Amino acid sequence: MTFEGAMTAIVTPFRDGKLDEEALREHIRWQIASGIDGIIVCGTTGEAATMDIAERTRAVHIAVEEAAGRVPIIAGTGSNATQTTIESSRQAVEAGADALLIVTPYYNKPTQEGLYQHYRAVAETVSAPIILYNVPGRTACNMLAETTLRLAEVDAIVGIKEASGDLEQIRTICTDAPEGFVLLSGEDAQNEAIYRLGGRGCISVTANVVPDRVAQVWRTHIEGEGDRAQALQEKLVELNRAMFFETNPIPVKTALALMGRMAEEFRLPLTPMGEENREKLIAVLRAEQLLA
């Protein structure tokens, strides 16, 4: 199974404090029908940090059932403790996940050697492909290109979601990574630019709202129509910006509620969108003809 193309880091719908299983199933069906190449469940966008183990396992089960082998299901299992990451990863694999997305340990601020040893320990213990996840804006820890390339030599580690925003770092990884190791954009505003550097797809927040359009940018790129792919990316500028008017996933889940796709429900410490930003979001959705 390949892990490339336009993939969605899906939200987790809640209703009355519980996992909204039917809304989750419907969201996954819509994503796949719209041409998305993979589903990431229980990531940052999925509010996994506020879900217990049973809920995360159930969400993975549902995603696997709905995908039915049509696209890979990648489970977010990272934490800031190596043993916890290993245990979460084992459970996701048992639930049927095709691969794991593992964020760099947050809060601890490990050294580059600590990052290497963390990922190597997981790779040597869990029998599933691993995609690294570098997002220093969330973790206060940037995994340098040298560390990523060192980890790329570990058999089980097949790629990285890069959300550092550092295009030179990304260029180095794309240029020097061994064959078969994929770099995926983790920054919607940079998707097409990263494709041109050698990126093999994206893990997108915006695709929750417009999966067909995010997928079209990727497909146009791989068909060799670079100028058209760039033009399509530029048409997503305002929507990409709107998805980060406040902390992700507040805007994207609010947008989906306004589109009539799920309840507008979050778990503390996330709260409903501020009124001023909500009005700005509504204006963008109206301009894009996405309101219910």
Residues with catalytic function:
133, 161
First to last CA, the chain: 36
d(CA 175, CA 171): 6
Tokens 């048409």, residue?
Answer: 235
Residue 285 token pair: 């959705």
Q: Tell me which DSSP letter residue 142 carries.
A: P
Burial of 271: CB neighbours in 10 Å, binned 0-12, 13-18, 19+: exposed
Tokens 């969605």, residue?
Answer: 8
How many CB atoms are closer than 10 A to CB 22?
12
